[in-house]
Structure 1
Amino acid sequence: MELIVVCFIIAIASVMGWKAKSITKDGAIAAFIVGLLIYLGFSYQGLFLLGCFFCSSSFFSKYQNKRKRIAADILEKGEQRDIIQVFANGGVPAFLGFIYSFGFISQQTALVCFCISLAAANADTWASEIGTMSKKEPRLLLTMKKVPRGTSGAVSILGTTAAIGGALFIAFISYLLFSLSLVWVVYIALFGFLGNLLDTIIGQTVQVKYKCTYCGKITEKQNHCNFKGVKISEYSFLNNDAVNFLSIILATGLGFLFS
C-alpha cells in the first residue's frame, strides 16, 4: 500500500513538472522512473533530496530568461528537460538506489555516492544557469581564452561560485536528512564540485561543437540559422547530455574509490 501511495506522489510531482514546462512529457516519464528507483533505495529522504535538486535547478533555469538569450542561441537544448536530460542527470542516483535496494552495496557507500551524484548534477546545473548571467565574458578553462556566455568548457567567477554553492546545497541537505557527519558533508561537496570541474574539462575537449556556415557562430547546434553547421573538431564526439552523464559517473566513481 505504501508503495502505491509513493508511486502516486511521484506521478503527481512528475506531471506538475511537465505542466510547469520544466520537463517534457517523456521527461516526466523518466522523472517517475528515477524517483521510484531512488525511493526504493533511499526512501522519502532520497526523494526529498532529488526534489531539492529538481526544484532548485528548475528555478534557476527559468530565472531571468531574458539575460540568457545569447547563451540559449548557443546551447543545443532549452530550459525544458527531456527524457535524455533527465536520465543524464538522474540516471546515476537512480542506479545507486536500485543496486542498494537489492543489497549489492553497503549502506554508507551507497548513501555517500548517491549524495555525490546529486551534488555533481546540481553543481553543474547551477554553474550553467547562473554563470550565463555573468556580466563578463567567461574564459575557456584550459586556455583562458574569452568566449561567449554559454560556451561549453568556459568558466566565470559567478559560475564557479554557483557551482560551489550548488554542491554545498546538496551536501547540507544531505546532512539534515541522513544525519551525516560534517566530514562527509565536506566530502560530498568537494566531489560534487569536482563533477562540475570534470564537466567543464570534458565539455571543452571532446564535446561536439559546430560552426554555423551562415553567421560563423560556434554552437552546440548542428543546425543554426537554418543551415547545417560544420564540426569544428574531428576528435569531438559527445553531446552535452553525454558530457553531463560522464562527469557525474566520474565524480561518483572517484568518490567511491576514496571513501
Structure 2
Amino acid sequence: MGNSSLILCFVLLICAMLAVLTKKLTVSAAGLASCIGLLVFYAMGIKELLMLCLFFGLAVLATSHKKIDKARLLALSKHEETRGAGQVFANGGVAGLLAVLCLIDVSHTDVYKIMMVGSLAAALADTLSSELGTLYGRSFYNMLTFKHDIRGEDGVVSVEGTLIGLMASALMGIVYAGLNKVAVFIAIAGFLGNLFDSILGASLERKQYLGNNGVNFLNTLLGALMVLFFFC
C-alpha cells in the first residue's frame, strides 16, 4: 500500500469518526461509508471518490439545515438526522457495486464511472428536493394523482423541491464533466431517478410494499441505468 493510499485511509477514518461523534452517521453506517469510499477510490480513482464526498457533504448540510423548522412543519418531535447503514447502502450501494464491476470489467471502466455519478446525482436530487422542498415548498402534490397532499408524506412533491432536485443533479454533472453533453446526461438521469423515487413513494411505499431504503436504492439504480441508456 503506497503513501497516498495510507493517507486516504487515515482521512476516511477521521471523517468516519467525526460523522459518528457529530451523530451524522451510526458506527455501522460510518464503517460502510468508509468501505464504499475506499472501494470507489481503488476501482475508479480520486475524482470519483470526491464526487462521493460531494454527495455526502451536501446531503449532511441539507439534512441539518433548519432541522427544528422541518420537525415543526412535519409535526414531528424530532427531525431524524442520524443515518444508519441501511440508508448509506440505499444511497451509495449502487456506487459500490459499480466499483466492483470496474474491477471485474476493466474495458468498460469509463462507462461505470459515469453511471456511478448518475446514481449519485439521483441520490442528491432526492435528498435535497426532500429536505429543502419540505422547507421552501409552497404547495404539495401527490406524484401520481397531482392532487394536493400532505407535506412530507411519501410521494408528495412541490414545484420548488422538484426544481431544487434538478439543480442538484445538474451540479453533480457539471462538477464531474464540465459544461458538455455528459453533464446534461447526468443531470437528466439524476432528475428522472428523483421523479421515479416520488412515483415509488406514492405507490409502493405508501402501500408498504417497499421501505424508504428500497425506494432510494431503486432511485440510484435508475439514475445509473439512465446514463447507460444515454451512452448506448
- Structure 2-normalised TM-score? 0.91
- Residue 121 of structure 1 corresponds to 123
How far does residue 66 in structure 1 lie from its aligned partner after superposition?
A: 2.1
Alignment length (residue pairs):
228
**Which sections of structure 1, spanning at least 5 residues, go unmatched?**
209-232
How far does residue 195 in structure 1 lie from its aligned partner after superposition?
A: 0.6
Identity among equivalent positions (%) equals 30
- Residue 73 of structure 1 corresponds to 76
- Residue 108 of structure 1 corresponds to 110
What's the secondary structure of 1:133's corresponding residue? helix
- Residue 229 of structure 2 corresponds to 257
Which of 171, 186, 207 is 1:188 aligned to? 186
- Contact in 1 for aligned 2:137/2:158 (Cα 8 Å): no
Distance 1:46 1:9 in 2: 16
- Residue 204 of structure 2 corresponds to 206
Aligned Cα RMSD in Å?
1.9
How far does residue 105 in structure 1 lie from its aligned partner after superposition?
A: 5.2
- Report the structure, 1 or 2, having the larger helix content: 2
Relative distance call for 1:202 and 1:194 in structure 2 (3 A) is same
- Residue 162 of structure 1 corresponds to 164
Distance 2:45 2:140 in 1: 40
- Contact in 1 for aligned 2:44/2:109 (Cα 8 Å): no
- Contact in 2 for aligned 1:72/1:150 (Cα 8 Å): no
- Residue 248 of structure 1 corresponds to 220
Relative distance call for 1:102 and 1:8 in structure 2 (3 A) is farther
- Structure 1-normalised TM-score? 0.82
Distance 1:74 1:109 in 2: 44
Distance 2:105 2:9 in 1: 22
- Residue 149 of structure 2 corresponds to 147
- Contact in 2 for aligned 1:116/1:189 (Cα 8 Å): yes
1:36-75 pair list within 5 angstroms: 36-69=38-71, 70-71=73-74, 73=76
Deviations 1:228-254 (A, max 9, x none): xxxxx4xx3101010000121122123
- Residue 90 of structure 2 corresponds to 88
Deviations 1:47-76 (A, max 9, x none): 11111111111001011112211337399x
**Which sections of structure 2, spanning at least 5 residues, go unmatched?**
none
What's the secondary structure of 1:50's corresponding residue? helix
